[in-house]
Structure 1
């Protein structure tokens, strides 16, 4: 067992001996007054009584699902009361005590659980999958592990502001098996972040016992591997939890380090009510009922004469009336009437008035005319956009592998450390999921961040954070995800299957994300600045082969290219080519070689949301449409554009919509095979076929 750190911790911290034999639960009030003990008791009792009512409603069919925390209330209540009210908590399914201890409106909670419009998520989320910025509670997602990294981001914000605050994230024993647990603890340790990681070890991940989850003796032993301190305590003793977390909080602030707390507990009901408890040996229930956190604390207060039985009965009756009254308000709420316009409107966060005004005043959609000034490269445009954004937004943080002193794999951030410092230009461990989660955590504290994927291919390691956390959080509970992810993408450089993929289409299917893909230095700078100014998660694809191969003129001052607006690169009369990225340059090169064909070229620039008005105009221009992209054919963005054109522009077409894309194979390493793979090798064939109609 690890030695507890200094700071007012309980001495009696172990209540497991050998093969899970229980020992007596001891309460130590220390300096707590009677009023404080009663306050803790009331906070402990309320979630228990709410849950008992919810189980009745579940049986009556008035709610659809419930994850019971009966038997585990002391963890949520004790840890929440030990923190300051403006310190973020990342709770899970069985943490009703977090919400009630933060004094959230009970009638709104009931409305939330009923899926009512007036709940905390407008009926868009279930049970505890919601948050509240006003209460500093972050809504969970079902994948559990990703929540831990958000606590890293919040703690990083506190660290950057020199604030004396911590963040706290819960994990179940099963969740510690996920890679996100490792990544989040590793980042917190490496960056010395004041995060409390709290494991609720109730012995089971749904029905899987801990003996099938891990082989270390205690989960708290994992703390040593990350170079952090840890302690294992009785999670059913509310005073022990309260005092421990209070001491851990002081430790994290004083030492600017994370801490791991393992709370031993037991859930008295199923993972959720439908799953039952048949897989749990009945003798465990008999043992653990003696450790019931509410009853045990109640008996202690009676023994200490802090409360009388009459006073306890009065408290219970008062809570019963309160619950019934708040529940009736929830039942009286108006039935849900779907509003499609509102649903679509709430997918994306709106820019602040100040940023909107700046954006409108500094929007430049066309490249500057050629001047005597030398043209700048594509890569220079990205560097300039990042630098000017760092100067404008003092709360903007860059994160990525090797981006600090080394300047990144492509040297885009070279020299940034000297100008902006290592606090804002941060090398990260190799843990893409936790880095993206950290970026989202920064958003909770109104920071902006740009995360660099060393190669777009590596984004698979952070896919869940992007499509389930970043993309959905604003729609779910109104929290913007102010994160840009830079994606060096594309082939043509002989880098093989894992450094050459065009994976932009993966993300265009995900509501809540924005996906941009510039083809020119002008758009590279303007779109990146626009992405950083945007409060929504933006994936910014930058083709590696364009970095140093193309140059152009663009304004020296900061400016935006509007996200969601396509650009006509050249007017034409014979065939419309709709493309983006490298496909734009393939088309221009083909046009130079074939002046006899007049190509009308539309550069999409933004893939989500698409500029359908510009697409329609481009279709009308020639009546023949070719959609060209480097991505593979099946499921590419070209399929979506072709479907939309066929559905909405049929009367404008003089030929079937055609697609020219790369082969449906991985990207090969051999340069001759790669040339054959690329869509460019079939461009002439496609244009001639379309021209023949």
Structure 2
């Protein structure tokens, strides 16, 4: 059933056993967001509100679903779900302050409209990219299962949003894992101006539930009694028997996608037909006919709500324009992390890089009893590199989880786990594949603390790098994609000892950490590594060699290339610096070294343009210019994708050009 072709009949409010008090609560619940919206439309014309996404005509869905939920169950709403916020009884002045970018809002003026979350009211607002919140709902629901809580999560999207890959990934994950999620699709006929007939070709959206082995129901989204009773019944069943359910609410958007859009693309007759199915006026008539509501009581509701709106609007208008300092803005990008140092013991064993990662994972799983590992083939198979080979036996399938091939959905699910206070790790099978999960990393995990003070307690492990003949899609070292994004931390060790200690720190840090592990080092580098659980702080570079003639700054596999190259320069006095972490970066150590030597070569495996080397060079030029005795020199891979054949890969990498570059630097 699609809105553009529906045969219209009056709303049929079936007789229910609901008490009159509940019926009146449902009616008043719908009336409140409608009256707020009518006021907002006046304010937007007056220029007092910058933007508005109207949900007029769709109130029954937000109110019915929210009232069917328990107060401590999370709801993830969209632009047009004002009723979710009012039904959860968020003080109106806080909502009005949010929309005006005032301090009493939820984002300190950093984001607008409903782009916020609040743990107090168990609401997690959307981001403009729509899709990731569906996966976040999966993560919250997974946390309910792991904690043995008989709770569910409801997440909203529109019929247009069901075209996004995140929708399909989230439904598949929820189905495979039997997650208690209500996927609420508001089918209002148009995605901005594009009608449903141009959005999908299945007859109904609920038909998609078949492909995921998922229960699905179509509900009249303008019938508040049908919404409330059916969702209440389904919700109670899901709490007892956890599973995902797809709900398609048939409704219509009576105003533009946002107010500036208008509705000229909607045929007048269709608009008139849906206006006749207004959920509030129809329900009001039903209540009056059944002697449940009187005009006097209704007028009293309107008077009370309008007074509440005016009073709270004035509070928001009277609030001072938000003022923030540069330090406050910068400090809020990351969750505060009090580093706790765990000392190394004297007992060591000589292990490979890959063994150090596996050991760090195991000891962190023991340290954090609810830490969850997720990734493709990481359970029984142990991962493609066998790092988690024994984890399933040691920690069980709840905490070591094979995932479908859907990077975006799993990263979003990790965000949902963090909302419920559970740490998680996502293993990208290869760092290259992170491009399929890029959006939730850079737009959700990275920004969520800055936006509404919610931590993203997620570690993403990134097996990366060339030198193993794996070609363009399994060999990239793509750290620069993420060091550019405020809110992410980026770690890139070169030695087993550092890898273990830094990985332990990554799991202690409540911020999102991308942990790069060079595949060519996995089985080629060995070191004496302490056997106990220990940590190494972020933002502290390591001196591998100290001198006073040249500074070499590098990280990852390039550290070992530099060490090998320096064997040909036995008389050269060199500061060899292994950065270890790229965000935060120990630029102070770099500056001090360059000021001492006057010459610097920065090496990274990535191609140079837009690389870490380029950014370090720019910082040195600004901070150490007067100390330089030669140009800042950079060395990286060729400006091509990474080739497969060994001789082409050798030519691509900078490893065999280090000596030449050093000679050029020394001779200047």
SS of 1:360's equivalent in the other structure is: coil
Does the alignment pair 1:573 with 2:548? yes
Displacement of 1:454: 0.3
* Cα gap change, 1:17 to 1:569, in 2 (>3 Å): closer
Aligned to 2:26: 40
- State how far apart, in whole Å, the 2-side matches of 1:548 and 1:423 are: 29
Aligned to 2:231: 245
In the alignment of these two chains, the number of paired residues is 668
Aligned to 2:83: 97
My pick for the range that moved more, 398-407 or 298-307, is: 298-307
Asked whether the equivalents of residues 131 and 477 of structure 1 are also in contact (C-alpha less than 8 Å), the reply is: yes
Which of 61, 65, 83 is the equivalent residue of 1:79? 65
Displacement of 1:664: 0.7
SS of 1:115's equivalent in the other structure is: coil
Aligned to 2:310: 324
Aligned to 1:6: none
SS of 2:561's equivalent in the other structure is: helix
- State how far apart, in whole Å, the 2-side matches of 1:29 and 1:480 are: 46
Which of 486, 492, 507 is the equivalent residue of 1:517? 492
Does the alignment pair 1:222 with 2:208? yes
Does the alignment pair 1:417 with 2:392? yes
Asked whether the equivalents of residues 3 and 250 of structure 2 are also in contact (C-alpha less than 8 Å), the reply is: no
Give CA deviations for 1:455-500 in whole Å, capped at 9, x if unaligned: 0000000000100011001100011000000000000000000000
Aligned to 1:191: 177
Which of 79, 99, 103 is the equivalent residue of 1:117? 103
Asked whether the equivalents of residues 576 and 626 of structure 1 are also in contact (C-alpha less than 8 Å), the reply is: yes
Aligned to 1:262: 248
- State how far apart, in whole Å, the 2-side matches of 1:89 and 1:18 are: 29
Give CA deviations for 1:2-44 in whole Å, capped at 9, x if unaligned: xxxxxxxxxxxx8x79932112211135221111111111111
Aligned to 1:10: none
Aligned to 2:599: 624
My pick for the range that moved more, 681-690 or 74-83, is: 681-690
Aligned to 1:393: 368
Q: Which runs of 4+ in 1 moved over 4 A?
A: none
- State how far apart, in whole Å, the 2-side matches of 1:50 and 1:529 are: 49
Give CA deviations for 1:299-324 in whole Å, capped at 9, x if unaligned: 11111111100110011011111100
Does the alignment pair 1:210 with 2:196? yes
Give CA deviations for 1:218-245 in whole Å, capped at 9, x if unaligned: 0000001000110101001111111111
Does the alignment pair 1:639 with 2:614? yes
Aligned to 2:149: 163
Does the alignment pair 1:133 with 2:119? yes
- State how far apart, in whole Å, the 2-side matches of 1:618 and 1:100 are: 58
Does the alignment pair 1:282 with 2:262? no
Q: Which runs of 5+ in 2 are unaligned?
A: none
RMSD after superposition: 1.3
- State how far apart, in whole Å, the 1-side matches of 2:459 and 2:572 are: 39
Asked whether the equivalents of residues 81 and 242 of structure 1 are also in contact (C-alpha less than 8 Å), the reply is: yes
Asked whether the equivalents of residues 184 and 247 of structure 2 are also in contact (C-alpha less than 8 Å), the reply is: yes
Displacement of 1:586: 0.7
- State how far apart, in whole Å, the 2-side matches of 1:429 and 1:46 are: 42
Which of 554, 558, 569 is the equivalent residue of 2:533? 558
Aligned to 2:586: 611
Displacement of 1:609: 1.8
- State how far apart, in whole Å, the 2-side matches of 1:271 and 1:209 are: 12
Displacement of 1:112: 0.5
My pick for the range that moved more, 340-349 or 651-660, is: 651-660
Aligned to 2:327: 341
Aligned to 1:4: none
Aligned to 1:429: 404
Does the alignment pair 1:301 with 2:287? yes
- State how far apart, in whole Å, the 1-side matches of 2:663 and 2:527 are: 31
Asked whether the equivalents of residues 29 and 239 of structure 1 are also in contact (C-alpha less than 8 Å), the reply is: no
SS of 2:340's equivalent in the other structure is: helix
Displacement of 1:594: 2.1
Give CA deviations for 1:421-444 in whole Å, capped at 9, x if unaligned: 001000000000000011000001
- State how far apart, in whole Å, the 2-side matches of 1:435 and 1:69 are: 30
- State how far apart, in whole Å, the 2-side matches of 1:564 and 1:30 are: 63
- State how far apart, in whole Å, the 1-side matches of 2:278 and 2:186 are: 15
Displacement of 1:363: 5.4
Asked whether the equivalents of residues 598 and 628 of structure 2 are also in contact (C-alpha less than 8 Å), the reply is: yes
Asked whether the equivalents of residues 231 and 262 of structure 1 are also in contact (C-alpha less than 8 Å), the reply is: yes
Give CA deviations for 1:124-159 in whole Å, capped at 9, x if unaligned: 001111110111111211011111001100110011
Aligned to 1:502: 477
SS of 1:21's equivalent in the other structure is: coil
